[in-house]
Chains A and B, each alone.
Chain A
Amino acid sequence: MLQVLINGAVLGAVYALIALGLTMVFSIMRVVNFAHGQMYMLGGFVVYYLYGQYGLPFYVALPAAGIVLAVVGVAFNHFFFQPVLATATREENSMLMAVGTALLLENLALTFFGEKQRGVPSVMDGALIFGDVAEGGIVLTHSNALVATLAVLAIVGLLSFVQYTRPGRALRAVAQDKEAARLQGVDVKATTTLGFAIGAALAGLAGGLLVTTYGVNAGMGTNITTKAFIMIMIGGAGVTKGAIVGGVLLGFAEAIGYDLLPGSVTYLMIFIAMIVFLVFKPNGMFGKPWG
């Protein structure tokens, strides 16, 4: 059981990273980024090619995934989301655009990378072994430990950036109240772009981290997006704390479920639990009423 909890913790750390990216974009633009899972997938492919195929070191490939996705995020924001937000008479249109970009990314990936499932060689060999495995001891591979550590580092880095720097304060201000932020001299447009870039980069980082364990394939995006939605709904959309709690909870739920239940029943249970939870707490654990 301890082994399951360790697995859950590793998964939860990366999931929190995914949820943070989605919640960042949502809090700043009020756009639910349907392409978040596809951005995750793209990050996985960047690491797969740079690290797995061209043999660059992992610590080069991983930041590269973040940077590539940040560029994609800036481009999407500039060419797709801003024009739609400017001209649409219904707020649902931005959601439609998000769906469109998700389809575009997925089809681009299918066209260029094919449908094959791909993996990368292990980043680090060896494992930490606590106790005797035969008697319920636990194994934590070095590469899983690295993934979890990097995910936690990224989360801490992001939180301190948002908390203690000037652009970070601008992000929080825009998330709270766009008009008031503008009146205080915040460059709303630049800050929005920054927020979208960070959100996309986080998805890319998470994809780059989990490719070491789960591999990557072009069709995995929708699945990840759905998971990300679950996380931010549990925690409350647009709330940083909620994203982290939601991500960690889902990580544990998935690890424990896969241990105890056959295959797809786990997610059926998670969905049912979540729907019941939301009936009693429609805004998630920490969310504000919104709608």
Chain B
Amino acid sequence: MNTLMKRDLCVALAFLAALLVLPLFIGHSRYLLSVLMNCAGLSVVAFGVWLTFTIGRINICQAGFALIGGYTTAILLSRYGLSFWLALPLSALVSAALGALIGSFILKLRGIYFAMLTISLTEAIRLSFLNGGDFTQGSKGITGLAQPFAGDSPLPMYYLAVVLLALGLLVTWRVHYSRLGRIFRAMRLNEDLAESFGTNVWRYRVTAFAIACALGGLGGSYFAVFTQSVYPQSFTVEHSIYFMLFCFLGGLEFVSGAIVGAFALTILFELLSQFQQYQTLVYGVLMISVILLLPNGLMAVRSARNEGPSGRRMPGAAPDKARAEATENPTTGSSS
């Protein structure tokens, strides 16, 4: 665990350092900066999904809570003329409160039921904003939001994204590598057992979900001012699924997995833009290949190789026959 944690820390710090220094080299390009801002914002939201994974729940409603955060900011800014610096934490708070409220009911669902329910929840939240009448402006969305920074330079906005990323990382890191994180892990491995040892499972999983939703709201609030607008279509089921993919791709064992996945997939998508109409197609193919070749995420690449025969076999190394046998062996597929 210790070496894994060290690797986690190295990757996380490397990312932050790179993000702090990069504007020196690419500061002239608004496009490159905006790609990085996008990545950072998405990472903040993805941290929430990652955190829900640690309690053994597949969270596909993060886009919904990002939307709640975005709309809270937009409404506070445009309707009540509040400062962005007040609206930002308030958005996270509203998301967390709603998350705790909804979570206290739906978190008793497990596995695939929870995953499917959260997909519906994303849709339900989107439809609520779509039908919110005057308050949410329906499908027109809320546009022309005031900017927190004066001037033309994109750099303040960029550093805001980096700071939020660092904040999200800090929160997730503190939660994961602490007593709380150990309780979450225990709950993921066996909720009933954790409960029988005196853990108040209900309280802890609502806590985890509320923190996750707060991160979603924080990211959503950031995107609302970054794009100066928020629409019901700003975050949809598709985004929820992408957030989940970021975490998977980066690796669920590492806090920095969410960042790695978000940056890798978002930058990859931008790189593919030269293929124009085939962009999304190539993206889909690449993603499937990655899942086939790196079933435990990018961050786990080296450990998979090192631990060789202990069940974390590299898929390429496994001969077809062994693979077929493993398929039919139920103990391999389900770890928890």
Contacts and interface: CB of A to CB of B under 8 A. Distances in A.
B131 A264 contact: yes
B324 A282 contact: no
A283 interface: yes
Contact of A91 (B127, B283, B335): B335
Contacts of A18: none
A139 B242 CA distance: 44
B196 interface: no
Contacts of B336: 90-91
Interface residues of A, number: 56
Interface in B289-336: 291-292, 295-296, 311-313, 315, 318, 323-324, 326-328, 330, 332-336
B281 interface: yes
Contacts of B110: 290-291
A37 B288 CA distance: 18
Contact of A290 (B112, B277, B285, B328): B112
Chain B interface main SS type: helix
Interface stretch (A41-49, A143-151, A203-211, A271-279): A271-279
B295 A291 contact: no
B277 to A, nearest CB: 6
A128 interface: no
Contacts of A188: 328
A156 interface: no
Taking each of B106, B284, B311, which has the highest tally of chain A beta carbons within 10 Å of its own beta carbon? Answer: B284
Contacts of B114: 291
B326 A86 contact: yes
A233 B318 contact: no
Given A92-B248, A104-B284, A108-B281, A86 B117 contact: no
Q: Is the interface of A mostly helix, strand, loop or mixed?
A: helix
B325 to A, nearest CB: 8
B118 to A, nearest CB: 10
A91 to B, nearest CB: 5
A290 B110 CA distance: 7
B111 interface: yes
A284 to B, nearest CB: 8
B318 A86 contact: yes
Interface residues of B, number: 59
A272 B127 CA distance: 11
B105 A290 contact: no
A268 B109 contact: no
B111 A290 contact: yes
B293 to A, nearest CB: 10
Contacts of A237: 112-113, 116
Interface string A219-247: 00010001001101100010000000000
A141 B189 CA distance: 55
Contacts of B159: none
Interface stretch (A58-66, A77-85, A160-168): A77-85
Interface in A92-111: 92-97, 99-101, 103-104, 106-108, 110-111
Interface in B119-172: 119-121, 123-124, 127-128, 130-131
Contact of A96 (B245, B328, B332): B245
A291 B288 contact: no
A268 B131 contact: yes
Contacts of A272: 124
B182 interface: no
Interface in A17-73: 26, 32, 34
Interface of B: 53, 58, 105-106, 108-117, 119-121, 123-124, 127-128, 130-131, 237-238, 241, 244-245, 248, 252, 277-278, 280-281, 283-285, 287-288, 291-292, 295-296, 311-313, 315, 318, 323-324, 326-328, 330, 332-336
30 contacts: A82-B323, A83-B292, A84-B292, A84-B295, A86-B323, A88-B295, A88-B296, A89-B295, A89-B312, A91-B334, A94-B333, A95-B58, A97-B292, A99-B241, A103-B280, A104-B281, A107-B283, A182-B328, A189-B324, A229-B119, A237-B113, A267-B127, A268-B128, A268-B131, A279-B105, A279-B106, A279-B108, A290-B113, A291-B111, A291-B112
Given A80-B292, A282-B109, 20 more contacts: A32-B115, A32-B116, A86-B332, A87-B295, A90-B335, A92-B58, A93-B295, A94-B333, A103-B283, A103-B284, A107-B284, A111-B277, A182-B328, A233-B116, A267-B127, A271-B120, A271-B124, A275-B105, A291-B112, A291-B114
The 3 residue pairs across chains A and B that have the minimum distance between CB atoms: A291-B110, A291-B111, A271-B124
